[in-house]
Amino acid sequence: MKKILKITGIILITIIMALIAIPFIFQGRIQELVKQTINKNINANVAFNDVSLSFIKNFPKAGISVTDLVITNFEPFKDETLATAKSISFTMSVKEIFKSANEAMVINSIYVNEALITLKTDKFGNNNYDIAKESEEVNASAEEQPSNFAFSIKDYQIKNSAFTYIDELSNTTAHISEFNHEGHGTFTSEVSELDTETALNLSLSIDSTNYLSNNPIKLDAIIGVDLNNNKYTFKENKAQINELPIHFDGFVQRLDEGQNIDITFENPESDFKNFLALIPKTYSKSIENVRTTGDFIVKGLIKGKLTETTIPTFDVSIVSNNASFKYLDLPKSVEQISINTVIKNTTGNTDDTFIDVNTLNFKIDQDVFKASAHIKNITKNMLVNANLNGVLNLANLTKAYPIDLDHKLTGILKANINTAFDMNAIEANAYDRIKNSGSASLSDFEMTSEDFLKPIQISQADLTFNPGKVSLKQFKAKTGETDLNATGTINNLLGFMFSNKTLKGHFDLNSYLFKVNDFMSKTQEKTEQSTETTATIEAIKIPSFLDCAINAKANMVVYDNLNLEDVTGTLIIKDEQVLLKNVNSSIFNGKLGLSGNVSTKTEIPSFNMALDADSFDIAQSFKDLELLRSLAPIAQIFQGKLNTNINISGDLNNNFTPKLNSLTGQALAELLSTQINKDENGLISKLDNAVDFIDFEDININDIKTKLEFANGKVSVSPFDLNYKDIDITVTGAHGFDKTIDYSAVFNVPAKYLGSDINRLIGKIDDAQVDKMSIPVTANITGSYTSPNVKTDLTSAAKNLSNQLLEIQKEKLLNQGKDEINNLIGDVIGGNKTKSDSLKQDQSKHVEDVLNGIIGSKESTDTTSNKTNDSKKVIKNVLDGFLGGRNKEQDHSK
């Protein structure tokens, strides 16, 4: 017995080892067969990670698995991905593996896992899925080598896959996600049955309108397969769209020119709850606890041929009579619901499809709302004729239906509108072909939202619909402390609603008080009060869909801490930009003119603006306006009036304040009736200490004019002149937006202001020209505006002036001495000896006094005193010698 078990075990191990080993022997052949089959049948680039063969996974059958399959297109969709699949597996009888190379392997089942397929038709009509080789090419290849695979499918499965269909010609997009499908049957018989199960989520968009949004669809069906006639018949089936059950009957038959379709369908139950089941769960919520009355019937017929030129005729009706529903956890019910809608095509021509919403009525409380619409020529220039008539209390919507709104709604909407138009007229703005009539009004409307700091309240809004335009007769609203009153016209409301066109209009807007902060979002308020940077605030965007002009007028506009009075101007909003024209206001006891634009087209918003300030109160404007403080910080110490013209451009922060380091531009400034204010930063006191010959509080700063240029965070100031008594002052330099300063002030100082020593020199010289002498003194102002440093060259300037005065005084006195000496010499030569001796003595004493006067002015120092004594001795000896010599000559002559 042990021997038998041992032999049995050896045999089993051998079989298992063979089942594991044999695939490796045939693996190369399988890979080659897959490559040959792809190359013979497909015009595309196909890549895969591996092809493996297994006898164990699908035992007793053999399995072939292709992993990480990727198919990319050739031109005209070059390098675009058509399909990917995590794995594709085939099963077959083991004997198929041992067939010769010229025999085809028969495939029994196919399993596809995680396939992603994108089917696309471009605007020229090219299809990316047309990758099969032409039949002649395939046949020529088949003559050279027989096909490598044959199919005898008994079951197949597609799991966790997705399909996307994009048609650029019709602007249609369909997306199928969570696609799971499987079928079981015998395909080899001429007549058989295929048992299928399908589940998917479907989204459908046509011409930018979403008709389905991830709607779940299920279909369990037994399909009769007649291979002789290429006919597939629905036998037993159960379909479900959202939660709405649908029953199908009929068939689809494949023909040479297309398909022949004959299908009828209807919902097997007529309860009105089926209508709520048709609405996606996201919007209808749970319908198990809904009480309904009335019926809801959907039935349809599709019959005819689907070819390149025709479609089947169809007739689909949706009917409900005097129905109602009430969610048990909500206080209100919707009653008197009547629906009568027909979707029909009677010719097989696509263009002849039409939709008639003959009745769509309902009642909530005492409010009755009625609507109807007729739409035809759907595939070409769609024609629409619609009517709306009724009253709707917006607050009752969430009380009767479980709508998840981001904000609370209240208000009464009244409408009685008829509109008739074709889509081409909307696209071309052909207003003469858009026929509107009627009116609509909204009263006591209130909306709260995270996008706004305060609720928006519309007390009254009245619209009148005219051919081609809508007139806003009245609009009264309030948010926070801001009030708005507007009238105007809207030119293409339908184009905005149905065709993604810009909303064009012209409005007159009035406000008694307009506070910009009332329109900030709660997120912005929280961020600005925290220590986080403004980069966390989402940038305000000017809507791209607006194309309008607004004539605005406001008694008061409050922006941050600024109060602008009597504001008037025009705002033109277009292409994500706001153009400001002729904006004028009163502020800082003066006038402000504004023009320019603000743009949010780029990621970082920007602006380009011209400001004209007339008679601004300097102290108030520089206190409240950061831009002025940054351009001219020193002007904060002044009192008086300011005129300035500023041309400025740069980037904006997300809260629309300027980024200072991005600013470029120039300004012309003029100060009027100005005096110096309290010196808060110590600049004036430091100048007073450094320059003691000026009382800066008495400096003349009236009618100062200068030019400023700014870029890269720096402001350069062109030289400008000041005046203090008979001292002229020239100021120039630059400062940064970081409050650093680098200025120089050159004082043209008369000599008399430079100290008592210099004044004594001037007094001794006693010359009118000397009295008018002046010398430049430079004060360099550096550091920062909050902590300035002042240095002057006053000491060296005074020393230079002293030297100049000494030279002038010496020259003058020497000239004076020469004249007196010459006079003395003349008297000596022409007089008697007795008189001459006496005169010599007197003149010698006088010259000594003159020399004392010449050199004695600087006897305050030892060095000067020594020099004076030496000079006196030298000159005296010279004079004595000169006079003595002359006397000897006179005696000798006698």
Structural domain contains residue 583 = no
Report, as an integer, the average pLDDT of 106-131: 84
> Would you place residue 221 in the very low, low, confident or very high pLDDT band (cuts 50, 70, 90)?
confident
What's the pLDDT score for residue 280?
A: 66
Place of tokens 């009027």: 672
pLDDT digits (tens, 9 = 90+) for 377-398: 887 888 999 999 999 998 898 8
Average pLDDT for 236-257: 85
| For residue 27, pLDDT beyond 60 | no
Q: 31 vs 843, which has greater pLDDT? A: 31
Neighbour tally for 228: CB within 10 Å: 7
Q: Is the pLDDT of residue 658 over 50?
A: yes
| pTM of the full structure | 0.62
What is the DSSP code string of 548-603?
EEEEEEEEEEEETTEEEEEEEEEEEEETTEEEEEEEEEEETTEEEEEEEEEE-SSS
pLDDT at 3: 47
Whether residue 851 lies inside any domain: the answer is yes
Residue 362 confidence class, pLDDT cut points 50, 70, 90: very high
- Domain interval for residue 340: 250-388
- Tell me the range of 40-54, 434-448, 770-784 where mean pLDDT is highest: 434-448
Asked if residue 739 is part of any domain, the answer here is no
More confident residue, 243 or 268: 268
- Helix (H) / strand (E) containing 855: helix 833-855
In a domain, 785, yes or no: no
Specify the higher pLDDT residue, 278 or 126: 126
Q: Which of helix, strand or coil describes residue 819?
A: helix
User: What pLDDT does residue 823 have?
Assistant: 65
In this structure, what token pair is assigned to residue 566?
A: 């009597």
Q: Quick one: average pLDDT of 424-453? A: 81
- Give one DSSP letter per residue of 425-441, joined into a string: HHHTT-GGG-EEEEEEE
pLDDT attached to residue 344: 93
Q: pLDDT tier at 11 (50, 70, 90 boundaries)?
A: very low
Separation of alpha carbons 45 and 39, rounded Å: 9
Give the closest residue to 805 by CA, choosing from 831, 773, 833, 830.
773
Nearest CA to 281 out of 396, 178, 201 is that of: 201
> What is the reported pLDDT for 885?
43
Where do runs of H (alpha helix) occur along 766-793? 768-771
Highest mean pLDDT among 7-16, 419-428, 857-866: 419-428
Task: Tell me if 123 is assigned to some domain.
Answer: no
CB atoms within 10 A of CB 660: 18
Report the pLDDT value the prediction gives residue 131, as an integer from 0 to 100: 74
Model confidence at 647: pLDDT above 70: yes
Residues 6+ apart with CB under 8 A from 877: none
- Rounded to an integer, the average pLDDT of 95-106 is 61
pLDDT value for 232: 87
Q: Range with the lowest mean pLDDT among 51-60, 68-77, 524-533, 726-735?
A: 524-533
Summarize pLDDT for 130-186 with one digit per residue, the tens. 877 665 554 544 444 444 545 566 788 889 999 898 888 778 888 999 999 998 876
- Find the length of the chain: 894
Split at pLDDT 50, 70, 90, the class of 892 is: very low
The confidence score (pLDDT) of residue 882 equals 42
Model confidence at 30, pLDDT cuts 50, 70, 90, reads low
Write down the pLDDT at residue 262.
93
Average pLDDT across the chain, whole number: 77
Q: Half-sphere exposure of 474 toward its Cβ, with a 13 Å CA cutoff?
A: 11
% the chain with pLDDT above 90: 19
What pLDDT sits at residue 819? 62
Confidence of residue 99 (pLDDT cuts 50, 70, 90): low
Reduced to 3 states (helix: H, G, I; strand: E, B; else coil), residue 456 is strand
| Predicted local confidence at residue 19, as pLDDT | 41
Q: What is the pLDDT of residue 847?
A: 47
Pairwise pLDDT comparison (306 vs 408), residue with the higher score: 306
Residue 827 lies in a domain: yes
Q: pLDDT digits over 542-568, tens only? A: 778 888 999 999 999 887 778 889 999
| pLDDT confidence of residue 412 | 93
Mean pLDDT computed over 308-330: 90
Task: Return the pLDDT at 656.
Answer: 72
CA atoms lying within 13 Å on the CB side of residue 432: 0
Q: What is the pLDDT of residues 667-685, one digit of tens each?
A: 888 877 667 765 656 677 7
Question: Does any domain span residue 145?
Answer: no
Q: What is the pLDDT of residues 279-302, one digit of tens each?
A: 766 666 777 788 999 999 999 999
| Cα–Cα distance measured from residue 463 to residue 438, given in angstroms and rounded to the nearest whole number | 9
Tell me which of 346, 373, 388 is where a domain ends.
388
C-alpha to C-alpha distance for 775 and 751, rounded to whole angstroms? 7
826: in domain: yes
Q: Distance of CA 416 to CAs 30, 53, 369, 640, 759, Å?
A: 72, 71, 10, 61, 97
pLDDT tens readout for residues 698-738 = 777 777 888 888 888 888 888 988 888 888 889 898 888 88
What pLDDT sits at residue 511? 94
Higher-pLDDT residue of 824 and 642 is 642
Give the end of a domain, one of 367, 388, 409: 388
- Bridge partners of residue 484, in order along the sequence: 477
Mean predicted confidence (pLDDT) in 810-829: 62
Which tens digits make up the pLDDT trace of 490-537?
A: 887 777 776 677 888 999 999 999 887 777 655 444 444 444 444 344
The confidence band for 569, taking pLDDT boundaries of 50, 70 and 90, is very high
Total domain count for the chain? 2
Q: CB under 8 Å, gap of 24 or more: what pairs does 387-390 form?
A: 387/417, 387/418, 388/415, 388/416, 388/417, 388/438, 389/415, 389/416, 389/417, 390/414, 390/415
Pairing state between β 503-515 and 546-559: parallel
Q: What are the tokens at 639? A: 């009192």
Of the three residues 369, 388, 407, the one that is the final residue of a domain is: 388
Angle of CA points 823, 828, 834, to nearest 5°: 140
CA separation for the pair 478, 859 (Å, rounded): 87
Would the pLDDT of 369 be above 70? yes
Most confident of 464-468, 742-746, 818-822, 843-847: 742-746
692 exposure class (CB count in 10 Å sphere: 0-12, 13-18, 19+):
exposed
